Amino acid sequence: MKIFEEIESEVQSYARSFPRVFHRAKGEKMWDEDGNEYLDFLAGAGTLNYGHNNDLFKPILMDYIQNDGITHGLDMHTKAKGEFLETFNEKILKPRNMDYMVQFTGPTGTNAVEAAMKIARNVTGQQNIVTFTNGFHGVSLGALAATGNSHHRNAAGVSLNGVHRMPYDGYLGDNIDTTEYLDKVLSDSSSGINSPAAVIVEVVQGEGGINVASIEWLKSLQTVCKKHGILLIVDDIQAGCGRTGDYFSFEEAGIEPDIITLSKSLGGYGLPFAVVLMKPELDQWKPGEHNGTFRGNNLAFVTAKAAIEHYWSDKTFSDEIKRKGQYTSERLQKIVEQYGDGRFTTRGRGMFQGINCVNGEIAGKITRNAFKKGLIIETSGADDHVVKFFCPLIISDENLKKGIDIVESAIQEVCAEEGSIPEEKVYF
Ligand SMILES: *Cc1c(COP(=O)(O)O)cnc(C)c1O
């Protein structure tokens, strides 16, 4: 189709990696307009945890539309919104002893991050927010300031202020606890770091290259925040909604963030939806202070409720994610032992897994080769050097194996072609 070249902006990105016109999708599969079939290991960058057009919610959504249910409602109370809140409270918050207020923001992740940072600044009266190296929080200006990636930052056109960057877990090597540094600079009135309103962190950095914060580091981060009276914001937009095995990515660490952002798979069906969860005492918004026309995407409320009911009423789904995650990490471990001259490594938690190929060019060759074999899979990280395994969580065992087999054969071919892997700068 020539129309894309004719009038679609150069800003396109995924369309460049997967230059086909897609037409249909189901579960973990997609088809292009010529009927070619692909396995989807990109899953809308984590928006399709429950797969494409999930049959458990599709009839519910169709019924709702058929019966002229409200589609758009600004922030008015609707039955669909009320039922989502009830289900979210009963199945997600209460069983985890979580007491939070829910703010509906505009339906993108970056919108939720903006709101989270605003409320933290307004409540504390401090401007500064601590963010981490390789963090990704969206591309609107406030969230972009918190994002590390220079490719995205350089497009801002204005200076990006109000944040201070700190090294993420592991950034300075395995033996350095970077929260000690944070504690030190916050304790020193001459460190030059203004007392922050909050820290914003991803438990697993998705766009930043699948960097996993250890449980101990997260606990220690919370301790440092408490000690210095700083709010802890967990951006769970990509790592949440089951990706790491639990509903929230921080559950295993047992930490209690003051503010949490959710989006991507929250809507369940790939429909836009984002929220901010905040401790009740932080909910100091004045009516309409932060708004957005599309805060009331009721179709997403309907499918979000259905997704929670179907998948999060008991432990079954969570156990399944952990089992498939374990299988994935064992397979990837074997692959890196076999290929990449001992320089490739694995990383991840749950079904949030990757192979660090050290070199972006090689990772790109691997994913392009995999696409030729019918697998949609992307890279992430500072130099796009990590092959990112991000299939829908509902994937069948058979297709999970098939997808990994495809990557294995792509890696085998690329490594055979390359001879040896160049000794390049080792990206974090
Ligand atoms: C995707 C993402 C965002 C931004 O969400 P958008 O819907 O693209 O604005 C923010 N934070 C994290 C961790 C993300 O993965």
Q: List, for residues 252-279, the tens digit of each pLDDT value.
A: 999 999 999 999 999 999 999 999 999 9
- Rounded to whole angstroms, the Cα distance separating 57 from 176 reads 46
Burial degree of 267 (CB within 10 A; 0-12, 13-18, 19+): buried
Query: CB-side exposure of 89: number of CA atoms within 13 Å?
Result: 10
Q: 109 CA to middle of ligand 1, Å?
A: 4
In this predicted structure, what is the pLDDT of residue 1?
84
What is the distance in A from the centroid of ligand 1 to the CA of 158? 21
pLDDT at residue 420 tops 90:
no
- What gap in Å lies between CA 106 and CA 297, rounded to an integer? 9
214: helix, strand or coil: coil
Can you give the pLDDT at residue 419? 76
* Domain 2-54+316-418: CATH superfamily, name plus number: Aspartate Aminotransferase, domain 1 (3.90.1150.10)
For 79-127, write each residue's pLDDT tens digit. Answer: 999 999 999 999 999 999 999 999 999 999 999 999 999 999 999 999 9
Angle made by CA atoms 115, 120, 123, in degrees to the nearest 5: 120
Chain centroid to CA 35: 30
Under CATH, which number does the domain 58-311 receive? 3.40.640.10
- Indicate the top mutation candidate among 260, 264, 380 to test ligand 1's pocket, ranked by most ligand atoms within 8 A of CB: 264
Percent of the chain with pLDDT over 70: 98
Q: CA 355, 356, 362, 365 torsion: positive or negative?
A: positive
User: Which of 108, 110, 210, 265 has most ligand 1 atoms within 8 Å of its beta carbon, as the pocket-test mutant?
Assistant: 110
Q: How far is CA 153 from CA 16, 55, 128, 303, 409, in A?
A: 21, 40, 18, 34, 36
- Residues within 6 Å of ligand 1 by CB: 108-110, 113, 136-138, 202, 206-207, 235, 237-238, 263
What's the half-sphere exposure (Cβ side, CA atoms, 13 Å) at 341? 15
Q: What is the per-residue pLDDT across 174-205, written as a single tens digit (0 to 9) for each?
A: 999 999 999 999 999 999 999 999 999 999 99
Q: pTM for this structure?
A: 0.97
User: What is the residue type of 156?
Assistant: A
Q: Return the bridge partners of 25, or none.
A: 30
Residue type, 158: V
> What is the distance, to the nearest Å, from the Cα of residue 4 to the centroid of all Cα atoms in its chain?
28
State CA 256 to chain mean position distance.
19
At residue 428, does pLDDT exceed 50?
Answer: no
Q: How far is the centre of ligand 1, averaged over its atoms, from the C-alpha of 115 (Å)? A: 13
In this model, does residue 418 exceed pLDDT 90? no
* Position with higher pLDDT, 421 vs 329: 329
Q: Which atom of ligand 1 is nearest to the CA of 140?
A: 9
Q: Give the strand pairing for 129-132 and 101-104.
A: unpaired
Ligand 1 centroid, distance to 142 Cα (angstroms): 13
pLDDT over 90 at 58, yes or no: yes
Query: According to the model, what pLDDT value does residue 423 have?
Result: 62
Cα 393 to ligand 1 centroid, rounded to whole Å: 19
Pocket residue to mutate for ligand 1, from 105, 131, 134, 137, most atoms within 8 A of Cβ:
137
CA atoms within 13 A on the CB side of 250: 26
Domain ranges of the chain: 2-54+316-418, 58-311
Cα(236) to centroid(ligand 1), Å: 9
Ligand 1 atom having least distance to the Cα of 135:
13
Residue 319 has pLDDT above 80, yes or no: yes
In this structure, are residues 233 and 120 in contact, taking their beta carbons and an 8 Å threshold? yes
Q: Which of 249, 263, 388 to mutate to test the pocket of ligand 1 (most atoms within 8 A of CB)?
A: 263
